[in-house]
Amino acid sequence: MRRQLVLLCAGVHIVTYMRISVTDRCNERCAYCMPHDVAIEWLPKSQILTYEEILRVARVATSLGVTKFRVTGGEPLVRKNVVEFIGQLNKLPGVTDIGLSTNATLLAPLARLLRANGVSKVNISLDTLDAGRYRELSGNGNLADALAGLDAAIEAKFPQVKLNMVLIKGRNDDEVFDLIDFVRQKAVTLRFVELMPISTSEVLTDDNFISVGHIRRRIEKRYKLVALPEPPHDVRGNGPALYYEVGNLRNPSGQPVRLGFIGAMTNLHFCDTCNKVRLTADGKLRPCLGAHLEYDIKPVLRATGSTDAQLREVFVQTIRNKPEEHEFRNNYMPGRKMVAIGG
């Protein structure tokens, strides 16, 4: 029987989910991830974990009860041979679920290969449907490439495709109903995400922050939202989102449109059922996105003669110190840009 990480958290958190950042690099530069006016220095290749090292960490994680992985970046698809890496990750004993977070601009030629290699869930960042606004928000990205990637994901028949729209007041909140109609046509889920102070503290101001509660009330003036039941407290497969179906609004297959709301800043119970830990591209284990605490696993990985038991001890320390809630509401000052942590 595999040892469960929940035993290390005094019953507070069941950690069964790891987000793996395979690179800090990205072909876009969204302001809430990599501020446009801040110089970005990419990590040297020697500091980035090799695929073999990541697989070793993942194998240790599965021995401790992790069953679900999500591959992130930066933009994970900019790293060479990522499809083959995911195929190897999928072969690890105990793995039941592999997801991918992407901006989708590089997804179109890889979608079917990713599906064949075990990816079952794809989350796509899409903050706007306006090409000019997309270029502005993403730092010169191409909306057409992102939409082609989305269509390829749908055609590849991933069991789950979700769009994530980060809400920025005065920049894209006027497109809420356009995005709802868009996902109705595409038959995918749309999630509204609150801005978080994860690049610089200046990203989050009264001028650009808008809560998911405000957006939900705006939607409810036009549509009836039916709350979906939350999973049991000890099983949080849906992550931090609260989901609703839109009454009387159905996609072409006849299924109701589904919306999710991720309120890290305004949902006081946001962290209650967190089940995840993060591995950064440079080998740091982070028990919480919204806290500076992290543990460097790379010295153990690269030490001559190191054992998996030693790696497990780093996991033990990481999960034992997992905070009960994030620090975003307490004048949080980011230490790393989001692109260096992993989406």
Q: Is 280 within 8 Å of 340 (Cβ atoms)?
A: yes
Tell whether omega for the bond before 342 is within 30 degrees of 0, i.e. cis: no
Nearest to 180 by CA among 166, 168, 194, 191: 191
Taking the CA atoms of residue 144, residue 149, residue 150 and residue 155 in that order, the dihedral angle to the nearest 10 degrees is 130
Q: 101 vs 174, 199, 231, 253, 256, CA distance in Å? A: 25, 18, 22, 25, 24
| DSSP one-letter code for 201 | G
Beta bridge partners of residue 226, listed in sequence order? 245
Q: For the chain, what is the domain count?
A: 1
Q: Residue 38 belongs to a domain with what CATH number?
A: 3.20.20.70
Q: CB-based contacts of 268: which residues, under 8 Å, 6+ apart?
A: none
pTM for this one? 0.89
Please answer whether residues 278 and 209 qualify as being in contact, where contact means their C-beta atoms are separated by less than 8 angstroms.
Answer: no
pLDDT digit string (tens) for the chain, length 343 residues:
444 444 344 344 578 999 999 999 999 988 777 766 666 778 899 999 999 999 999 999 999 999 999 999 999 999 999 999 999 999 999 999 999 999 999 999 999 999 999 999 999 999 999 999 999 999 889 999 999 999 999 999 999 999 999 999 999 999 999 999 999 999 999 999 998 766 554 566 778 889 999 999 999 999 999 999 875 544 444 467 899 999 889 999 999 999 999 886 675 555 566 788 999 999 999 987 656 688 999 999 999 999 999 999 999 888 888 766 554 545 544 555 544 555 5
> Which range marks the domain in which residue 282 is found?
5-341
Contact 75, 26 (CB under 8 A): yes
